[in-house]
Chains A and B, each alone.
Chain A
Amino acid sequence: MEHLQKVYQSRGGAAHLALDDVSFAVEAGTFLAVMGPSGSGKTTLLNLVAGLDRPTGGSVILADQRLDRLSEEQLARVRRRYLGFVFQDFHLLDPLTVEENVLLPLTLERAAREPEIARVREVLARLGLADKRDRFPFELSGGEQQRVAIARAIVHRPALLLADEPTGNLDSATSRIILETFADLHRADGATMLMVTHDPFAASYAERILMLKDGRLYAELLRGADDRPAFYQRIIDALSALEVAA
């Protein structure tokens, strides 16, 4: 991300600067969290990274391509091939079974055959959902639904996994399971992840944290050699210090 800027025009013509000169890089295999209070520009940033919105200034480079220069068809291809999405409220398609929901991203590239179906089953098994594959989303608990959403996000081996408040709708026990799943994916597969959250506990699972405030990057924390509880404490301290400074 290079000097990203996003300005929204209100109906009355007033301009709102949602992101202002934000630059950072996400190395392959990094688990990055973006934190910030409401209205700080987290979701705007996520939309720009995903190519779901176009920046007013600056650029997003993904897989050697400047997203702001791509046509909508090309952006769609980028999302299809390189990105995976996990949403706060899961967004599973109710009429499809668990297996069909997970299969969906694969079918956008080409019709699914045996290897693709085997891949779906493998991912479901890995996330502990092997026995749920013929269930419908409404038959699952919230935690299970989010795990299905994660399976759907990683099934096509995306270069970057984007998660928007993935534990926002879950209780703490289920949140922990979901975050452990992310951490496991990161450790075992070297998945690159960008997670937007306002929850310090969730952010403590990342290895690097960017803090946004009023559309600008104002702090960055690296986990380094700290274990998760220690990193969590550092995040709390950093947030407190910033609160005091504000």
Chain B
Amino acid sequence: MDYDVDVAIVGGGLSGLSAAITAAKNGLSVIVLERGDYSGSKNVSGGRMYVHSLKRLVGDKFKDAPLELPIKKETFEVYNNGRKTTFSFENKENDNSYSVLRSKFDRWLASEAENSGVAISYSTLVTNVRREDGIMVVESNRGDIRTPLVIESDGASSFVSRYLGLSDIGMNYKMENVKNLLGNNNFQAKNFMLGIKEIVERKAEDSAGEAKTILGLTDGIKGGGFVYTNKNSYSIGLTLKMDSLESNNIKSHEIIEKYRENLGMDGKILEYSAHLIPFYRYDYLPKRYDDNLLVTGDAAGFMLNDGFTIRGMDLAIESGMIAGNAAKKITDSKDYSDTYIYEKMLEDSFVLKDLKAASKISSLFGNERTFNVYPSIISNLIDTMFTVTDSPRENIKNVIRNEIKNNNISYFTVINDLLKVI
């Protein structure tokens, strides 16, 4: 078999670079194909990373990582008709997660990868991937690369899988589903969210970061908001369910303007960005392996929200590292159709375990009650308890009962939803 490299990795973001570093350390020859002029140039994330996987990936170099601030304070804000309910938790010792700006961070990780012997080809747009005589041919604007193993790290839109599933992309207007992987109907609006973000200048100088999760400022669209503190800026943004956005009459770029105004953030805007976010339920995750192919990070749909933590970046790094290790085993076995080994390794890791554990609560984020009914109940309840009038005071139990009744939902539904959280 004649080929150029052991592994070609499409996409030089977190999962691609993690796969590349790991595969190179395992002695494989690796090339990363990155569409941007530099790693991170095309990347947007909310901006908070749980750093446990990164620490294992880079070891002592972790102290040099260009992270923003350690998140020491968690705040939840629920807005409803001019009212705001806030819950905060602070732990000065916390440093398990940091705010991060990907343009800077990914560039640094790419230089770490290059130091480990990884070749990165920038400004390289992959235009097609096809199988030929048992190996893969990756076509790009810089020429073809022949390799027995492709690691797909090209983000939520996962074009490599699309190319492989397409017979004739040039003739089709429709973005076809992946025909050769399981779950043909993956590329549907309901499986994605749109992330829209603004970077706003910040003048304060404290060195502790805060992560705010915000409900009730999405104009009735299913979704939520975030505010993360960086060193000299704030990352503010919204994650909006695509199917909800499509069926409403407000434009996404108007929602974020109103959102920033409602938050009262009037600092200078430095950047405006957007990105797709995978939002599969666990049982509907796309297939992550195929002959000659391992899929990592966002392309594999690895994003989870368990009501307390929202994670994508640590899952990206971990799945990349696992793919780099799986690549070594597959290369040694010379059986490039036996990529199931990658799936087994994912199953044994926290990646699939945590995704599965979060799946019950994830179903809450698909339902109307979470975004409209419960914020209203919480606000009304607290509002009533803090208000004194001529009418006799109601017992809190009665207030709760009335609120549930007024919103036309059953106790059973409320308890069922609550159980998903606990």
- Please indicate whether A and B come from the same complex rather than being unrelated chains: no
Please list the residues of chain B having a beta carbon within 8 angstroms of any beta carbon in chain A.
none
